[in-house]
């Protein structure tokens, strides 16, 4: 059994190297391939609970603890010399990659919904994706900026296809709240350090945009509630103003709910609680939705859907958007009734 588990972990690390970090982080590609082929490191990972063996958690925890390595050999020495400390960090932390660049993929959908909007994010982490109207966006043919920003906003680049309409302005948001098992408190320096450790080493522009988004979130202080998406969503949703369009959304969250039945139950309940339910997840999270997409996305891409209707393939960090579904102007017909 242990041999089978080790093979699965090794395959997961190789898959992450190929699907996620390829062309984005040569250093992490080297590290992941090294870890995948190292019996001692795989043995260390097998001492952790299954949900704590994730490649991104291993990478961030090691970098948070040991700094950015020069290469796999250096990181391997650090890991094997201080397994106890690394184990403690990996048990205490979760990935919570609060990537505000994902707002660039969400914005064309959000801007097509009836205003004003009430936003409820599931798996909100530090709440950075609850502030899409405070950021700027570069869609190539158009640069969109927030109205009267107090701080210099980050500008998220997003390559779009011809089927993706560019919003004329950010949507009007009148209420926003987030739900997370462990919300991130940006007033704690260690928490900010952890979010920065989750950015891959070569992505200096992405790090600069994250820091700008953190500054805005520290000013705006979006409401974050500690709770479980399976049991606490309904109570928070009921607090949204009735005269606003309630949007429940999540991105890169439901993969951490291992039970397919629980994911489907969440989808049913979320759709009943709001006017629009937006999921931006790996296609295998909701395979029935993925089968309706008509064509497959590129390797490692997310599938963006609205109320179960596939809308677009998206880069996991919002760097590109390939619209396949209805135009945002048609989204009103997909709405639920609360």
Last residue of a domain, one of 53, 71, 92: 92
Number of domain units in the chain: 2
Q: What is the spatial distance between Cα 90 and Cα 110, in angstroms, rounded to a whole number?
A: 35
Tokens of 126: 């530090």
Q: What is the spatial distance between Cα 313 and Cα 119, in angstroms, rounded to a whole number?
A: 22
Instruction: Please compute, for residue 288, the number of CA atoms within 13 A of its CA located in the half-sphere on the CB side.
Output: 8
Sorting pLDDT into bands at 50, 70 and 90, what band is 338? Answer: low
Average pLDDT over residues 278-297: 94
Q: What is the pLDDT of residues 49-58, one digit of tens each?
A: 998 999 999 9
Average pLDDT over residues 5-24: 90
Last residue of a domain, one of 63, 92, 121: 92
Angle at 153 between CA 280 and CA 247, to 5 degrees: 35
Q: Are residues 44 and 111 in the same domain?
A: no
Q: Are residues 261 and 112 in the same domain?
A: yes
Q: What is the spatial distance between Cα 223 and Cα 216, in angstroms, rounded to a whole number?
A: 14
pLDDT score at 24: 87
Q: Are residues 182 and 262 in the same domain?
A: yes
Q: Which residues span the domain enclosing 15?
A: 2-92
Q: Are residues 313 and 168 in the same domain?
A: yes
Q: Are residues 29 and 123 in the same domain?
A: no
Q: Are residues 87 and 122 in the same domain?
A: no
CATH number of the structural domain spanning residue 149: 3.40.50
Contact 213, 155 (CB under 8 A): no
Residue 218 neighbours by CB under 8 Å, 6+ apart: 186, 187
pTM here is 0.89
For residues 123, 192, 70, 28, the Cα torsion angle rounded to the nearest 10 degrees is 10
Q: What is the spatial distance between Cα 109 and Cα 44, in angstroms, rounded to a whole number?
A: 43
Instruction: Categorise residue 77: left if φ over 0, alpha if ψ from -120 to 50, beta otherwise.
Output: alpha
Q: Are residues 86 and 104 in the same domain?
A: no
Query: Does the pLDDT at position 2 exceed 70?
Result: no
For residues 165, 300, 211, 209, the Cα torsion angle rounded to the nearest 10 degrees is -40
Q: What is the spatial distance between Cα 100 and Cα 93, in angstroms, rounded to a whole number?
A: 20
Last residue of a domain, one of 27, 58, 92: 92
Nearest to 109 by CA among 337, 302, 338: 302
Q: What is the pLDDT of residues 87-128, one digit of tens each?
A: 999 999 988 778 999 999 999 999 999 999 999 999 999 999
Q: How far from each other are the two terminal CA atoms of the chain, in whole angstroms?
A: 48
């Amino acid at each position: 059994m242990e041999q089978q588990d080790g093979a699965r972990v090794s395959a997961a690390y190789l898959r992450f190297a190929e699907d996620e970090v390829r062309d984005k982080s040569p250093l992490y590609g080297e590290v992941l391939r090294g870890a995948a082929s190292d019996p001692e490191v795989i043995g260390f990972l097998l001492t952790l609970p299954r949900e704590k063996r994730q490649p991104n958690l291993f990478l961030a925890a090691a970098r948070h603890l040991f700094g950015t390595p020069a290469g796999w050999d250096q990181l391997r020495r650090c890991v094997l010399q201080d397994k106890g400390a690394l184990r403690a960090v990996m048990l205490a932390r979760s990935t919570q990659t609060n990537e505000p660049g994902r707002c660039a993929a969400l914005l064309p959908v959000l801007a097509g919904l009836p205003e004003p909007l009430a936003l409820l994010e599931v798996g909100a982490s530090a709440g950075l994706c609850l502030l899409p109207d405070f950021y700027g966006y570069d869609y190539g043919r158009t640069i969109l900026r927030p109205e009267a920003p107090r701080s210099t906003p980050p500008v998220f680049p997003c390559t779009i296809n011809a089927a993706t309409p560019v919003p004329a302005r950010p949507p009007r948001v009148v209420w926003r709240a987030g739900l997370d098992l462990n919300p991130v408190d940006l007033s704690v320096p260690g928490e900010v350090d952890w979010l920065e450790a989750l950015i891959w080493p070569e992505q200096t522009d992405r790090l600069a945009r994250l820091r700008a988004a953190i500054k805005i979130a520290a000013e705006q202080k979006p409401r974050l509630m500690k709770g479980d998406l399976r049991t606490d969503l309904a109570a928070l949703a009921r607090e949204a103003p009735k005269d606003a369009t309630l949007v429940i959304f999540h991105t890169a969250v439901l993969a951490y709910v291992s039970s397919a039945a629980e994911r489907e139950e969440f989808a049913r309940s979320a759709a009943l609680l709001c006017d629009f339910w937006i999921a931006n997840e790996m296609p295998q999270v909701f395979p029935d939705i993925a089968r309706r997409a008509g064509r497959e996305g590129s390797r490692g891409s997310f599938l963006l859907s609205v109320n179960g209707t596939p809308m677009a393939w998206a880069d996991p960090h919002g760097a590109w958007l390939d619209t396949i579904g209805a135009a945002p102007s048609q989204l009103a017909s997909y709405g639920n009734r609360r």
